[in-house]
Each structure stands twice: as structure tokens, then as C-alpha cells.
Amino acid sequence: MEYWDIYDEFKNKTGKVLKRGDKLNDDEYHLVTNAWIKNSKGEF
């Protein structure tokens, strides 16, 4: 089970936590990170 901290539009934690898949309200956000790994051949 994955849970997300919920943030406001200014990246302040709201104190609310949602389970992945639950619907966010229009004024709620969660942080997402992407990581790309590139090898010595320039491949990702």
C-alpha cells in the first residue's frame, strides 16, 4: 500500500495523507520524482 503526503499550491504539507488511487481535490497536490540513468554509451 502506498500513501502520499498532500501539499497545497505552495508545496506546504497540509497534514492530509491519501492512499494511492484515491482522488485528489482540485487544490491538493502530491510530489512526483523521475530518475533517468544514462550509461557510458549514452543510453537511458
- Kindly state the DSSP code that residue 27 receives in the 8-state scheme: T
Sequence-ordered list of residues with C-beta below 8 angstroms from that of 6, at least 6 positions apart, any chain: 13, 14, 15, 16, 17, 18, 24, 28, 29, 30
Predicted TM-score (pTM) of this structure: 0.73
| CA 40/CA 29 separation, integer angstroms | 36
One digit per residue, pLDDT tens: the chain, 44 residues?
999 999 999 999 999 999 999 999 999 999 999 999 999 999 99
